[in-house]
Amino acid sequence: MIYREAEIKDITQIQVVRHAVKENRLSDPSLVPDKDVEEYITNRGKGWVCEFEKKIIGFAIVDLIANNVWALFIDPVYEAKGIGKKLHRMMMDWYFVHTREKIWLGTEPHSRAEKFYRLQGWTEVGKHGKGEIKFEMSFETWSDFSV
């Protein structure tokens, strides 16, 4: 498996992974057009992908402007293999090199993602959007957790 920074040429495959997930599904796939993905990986923050046999099987994108995890998704066929954890670590390490601002994310309650983020040291701070759980992570917590 190859882990690397996301590039514009990866957007089509990133979208395939995003639409393949079984949890945290988009109610309307047109809500996240390719131009938004490009904006997030080139201007607002950065993205990373995991590639296996020339196919993207997972990705993570962080937003330095809104200080949030914009996306972290793994193709369901490749879940529970450590890919999300590795992408998460790369994303968080990069984020905290560039800012010490607290970071947040929202995810579906009672999902595998909720459990994943709790195991990675995130703290639940309330609700976000349409009933999602809002989590936060401080630089200090990440520094302690990532050692």
Contact 135, 116 (CB under 8 A): no
CATH architecture of 2-145: 3-Layer(aba) Sandwich (3.40)
Average pLDDT over residues 50-54: 95
Average pLDDT over residues 86-95: 96
Average pLDDT over residues 14-40: 74
pTM for this entry: 0.89
